[in-house]
Structure 1
């Protein structure tokens, strides 16, 4: 039988084992305790010369073994179960959040990732003249785009020679076809078609639709893929430079930059639509997928009061006058005095709306609404209307006019040197006497003068539908005495051409002011009318005052043979007023040069049309009679028959014999 093991409780203690060992080995001696105590250093034992004896198995068992206590198996199961329960609860909570609370949001995100939206561009509204001639229209066109991964093959790294040349043949063929139909930089186009860092590039912008069709047909026939298109219509101006300062132009993004294109840009542009559809990861439309279209709303169409043929005549005649007189610039405006409608509004130099970049930026605005100047003697029409309507004077009021008169520390004189002259008020206006005008104006208080000029529209915008309108400057009712003297004959205040023309139109039109306008009507794309804000007409002077002012204006054109030669019209009785004002120069803060002008109406007794011409700083000629009046007569001789206005008589000119009202006393 094998050796019987003792129960742990019956095993011998270490002392018992030691005693037992000594009993079994009588040679083992008991070591006496050291006299030096437990910390005394022991002498090294002498090594036996004999071979070391191996330790017994009992001595090897004295080394202690590291033991890790293991917990209870039941507790381990409980801990694992709790951990699994927590994990399952977290997963269930997240699942509840995704499917129960956030399902709609995550569904929308998923749908959006598979939905493609594209804008639907509206058609920009047309601008036509009063007779329906297109002044601004839109031609269908496209931007040519490309996917370079399809227009050339990517064969390697771009810095490798082979990689640079790979795909060159395809890109060159495409560039050749596009270049055959439109102007491009061939090398730049090839480089664009060979880019491999993007899948979208622009190749050529604003290609007319018919040209793009030819390009697409040739590319398809050659089997060259990767060329696409984007809708990008071209704004065109068939009349070119005619009424360009009124119509304006757009930039490359079809946004208005000047004229009505700018002031009415939002309504002309329309409202952009949108197409949304389900798409595959590569962007292609899923045929049976969900799609939604919000149609674009095309822009408003505007019909102007401008007559393009009359505008062309005015522009050509004004250009000739500016060139002949060496003027810095010129302006001409023709109005229907009964409605405030502007029939022509020309400026020189002008520009072509199709090529605005080829002109001086200073010419891109509209001087007739933005440029202010001192009007000179044309202002005497307004002064005389205030004098007559306020009861201060009438056409037959007698004035003894001296050669000069003191004002503001200096002396004022007339353009025509003279001694003391006995003028009627009619004669003062006919001879354009500064002295006589200010003498009469001194009889009226300054507030009354200011209020009349303000009611005529000076010192504030007229509200015409064009951008950049200036207000001009009208001194207040507390103006200095010398300022009142200057204002009486057209200095000391500033106006715009549209302000002055509208004011005189009101005075000769029975005294009723109509705010000037260049828009006749507006319609939506479906033909429905669009409301236009209109200012109600207002009375500024009486009908009697209006008639008496016209009487004095006729005296201007019939007073002598020279005035008759330059100022009278063929077959129509007319009245007018010349103007010559010293020109203020901002660079020196002084007066330098002149502004010459002429304003006239016809027929005299029942005015229908007014034309006002202004030349800025002419080098040849310093009077409105010789510089501006010839432009006026040419425009009116064309306009009056064109609008079917019956002539006053069959004779060529309305002679001086019919003018029998006194100018002197």
Structure 2
């Protein structure tokens, strides 16, 4: 007995005197529980404050199997009553061995969990807990879905603006460390340490939801009518580079991305680079005007065709012998006349102008997956130079081209395009948004001249005469581009386009419509022009832009 008492006393001395701190720390660690505090993801609104994406309070339902195994069947029945599903869905995690943490359900509305918690408490059932995990909602559904994007099951940006600005929107996670008893309840006077979560940055986009909705609806109508593969629309403020609408069709519902075709989850306006066709002539003529190589009155006699490389360049319509001014060449979209005029410019200068207009490089718009497009270098072949002048041999994205034309019309000053109007932090304080620097691309004189020549396109004798607006002067350029098919390494099918702006005397809104592979109709003025006309007419009136009071520019098309 003396030996036994001595052993017990020695062990007691070891526990209380020698190893007391170590055992106390071990006990404290077993009582401690760390819970992640999720930040509230930043809200995304349109330029008028309408919510496009926001987070709503929700929780993940968790459990400690060491406390739920014995009552698993009864707890499972309560879970089914509040969360749905079958008892079998919950029995396995509730009785899982070798762990004290399992997930039972994700993103459960807070009100639902509160009812569940009360029910469990009244039944004397313990071991079920919660972790904050907000739900992301998209009130607009399909409106601007390709721009806004969506989040995945982990509340991380998976597409669109949600993806490209995920770090800023997500914020910083916090944590709560506290002591709990054997039943999992927080000990009121126990140790508690809280590191608050930092909510994400909220963004106001430049997108106008109502204009965006109309653009999506009108584009869908025309794509369906033309039995086309897809279509895009970009509407931009000429003076600032702000994108007012960026529509895609087919599109998807941001609240249900899993139900969409994966090909429709991107944003063709920034990811798809195609040969622009005759709308490219606007950039060619802007460069020629700025370089002083032509004036709107420069005279050309149109031949039947022009030799280029191993082939010959012709026109869609027969202009043989026609005596056209440079304005007339653009208005009638004569390929041969464009080639003849552009040959006065060097390859180096044309490549330099196109690069300065933003072609062949990403614009830097705050959206993911932007393509660079392709512009040949100064060492291009002679026939490639000829092709580029009227829209073949290079590729551009809709956002690249729209920004380029906006810069040309903005007195010759290019503003990098943007979809961000402003940003605020968790406290509502303004956050600085990086902006690209404006740059001059052509002279003010050349800007005025190209705007007048584009207005002639919509006048009598121009290819865009059917795309005039009510009460507003307008300018534009049609495109019926042969579509290059990499499968056969040949041209197959068409891409119909229309680039337009208004008012012609004071450019404020520029709109580019592109409809890919139409099966019914192909001419830009017929397939894409009506979309431009309806949307621009709406936008001008929506922003209270005064109707034109001066007569339209009447440049001579012939001599």
Is 1:554 the equivalent of 2:455? yes
Matched position secondary structure for 2:333: coil
Q: Which one of 478, 499, 520 corresponds to residue 599 of structure 1?
A: 499
CA distance in 2, matches of 1:587, 1:111: 67
What is the match of residue 525 of structure 1? Answer: 426
Question: How far 1:285 moved relative to its partner?
Answer: 3.7
Name stretches of at least 5 consecutive residues in structure 2 with no aligned partner.
Answer: 1-13
CA distance in 1, matches of 2:160, 2:98: 42
**Paired residues for 1:273-288 under 5 Å:** 273-279=174-180, 284-288=185-189
What is the match of residue 58 of structure 1? Answer: none
The verdict on how the C-alpha distance between 1:541 and 1:106 changes in structure 2, with shifts beyond 3 A counting, is farther
**Structure 1 residues 150-191: Cα deviation after superposition (integer angstroms, max 9, x where no partner):** 55637xxxxxxxxxxxx64x246324422xxx4424443355
C-alpha contact (below 8 Å) 2:36/2:131 kept by paired residues:
no
CA distance in 1, matches of 2:179, 2:80: 36
CA distance in 2, matches of 1:110, 1:624: 76
Question: How far 1:593 moved relative to its partner?
Answer: 0.5
Question: How far 1:197 moved relative to its partner?
Answer: 6.3
The verdict on how the C-alpha distance between 1:196 and 1:535 changes in structure 2, with shifts beyond 3 A counting, is closer
**Structure 1 residues 330-360: Cα deviation after superposition (integer angstroms, max 9, x where no partner):** 0000000100000000000111111111111
Q: Which one of 323, 328, 338 corresponds to residue 437 of structure 1?
A: 338
The verdict on how the C-alpha distance between 1:146 and 1:105 changes in structure 2, with shifts beyond 3 A counting, is closer
C-alpha contact (below 8 Å) 1:152/1:171 kept by paired residues:
no
What is the match of residue 555 of structure 2? Answer: 661
Is 1:644 the equivalent of 2:544? yes
CA distance in 2, matches of 1:533, 1:443: 40
Name stretches of at least 5 consecutive residues in structure 1 with no aligned partner.
Answer: 1-94, 155-166
What is the match of residue 354 of structure 1? Answer: 255
What is the match of residue 532 of structure 2? Answer: 632
What is the match of residue 35 of structure 2? Answer: 118
What is the match of residue 466 of structure 1? Answer: 367
Matched position secondary structure for 2:544: coil
CA distance in 1, matches of 2:438, 2:20: 64
**Paired residues for 1:87-486 under 5 Å:** 112=29, 114-148=31-65, 150-151=67-68, 153=70, 168=73, 170-171=74-75, 173-178=77-82, 182-190=83-91, 192-193=93-94, 199-279=100-180, 284-486=185-387
Give the superposed CA RMSD. 2.5
**Structure 1 residues 21-47: Cα deviation after superposition (integer angstroms, max 9, x where no partner):** xxxxxxxxxxxxxxxxxxxxxxxxxxx
The verdict on how the C-alpha distance between 1:105 and 1:342 changes in structure 2, with shifts beyond 3 A counting, is farther
CA distance in 2, matches of 1:608, 1:632: 14
CA distance in 2, matches of 1:562, 1:508: 20
C-alpha contact (below 8 Å) 2:473/2:552 kept by paired residues:
no
CA distance in 1, matches of 2:105, 2:193: 30
C-alpha contact (below 8 Å) 1:430/1:559 kept by paired residues:
no
Is 1:614 the equivalent of 2:514? yes
TM-score (norm 2): 0.92
Question: How far 1:362 moved relative to its partner?
Answer: 1.1
CA distance in 1, matches of 2:415, 2:173: 37
**Matched residues, number:** 545
What is the match of residue 542 of structure 1? Answer: 443
TM-score (norm 1): 0.78
CA distance in 2, matches of 1:173, 1:441: 79
What is the match of residue 568 of structure 1? Answer: 468
The verdict on how the C-alpha distance between 1:279 and 1:152 changes in structure 2, with shifts beyond 3 A counting, is closer
Question: How far 1:489 moved relative to its partner?
Answer: 0.3
What is the match of residue 84 of structure 1? Answer: none
C-alpha contact (below 8 Å) 1:248/1:353 kept by paired residues:
yes
Question: How far 1:516 moved relative to its partner?
Answer: 0.1
Q: Which has the higher contact order (CA 8 A, sep 6+)?
A: 2
Question: How far 1:218 moved relative to its partner?
Answer: 3.5
The verdict on how the C-alpha distance between 1:360 and 1:176 changes in structure 2, with shifts beyond 3 A counting, is closer
CA distance in 2, matches of 1:548, 1:309: 33
The verdict on how the C-alpha distance between 1:120 and 1:414 changes in structure 2, with shifts beyond 3 A counting, is same
C-alpha contact (below 8 Å) 1:184/1:204 kept by paired residues:
no
Deviates most, 264-273 or 290-299: 290-299
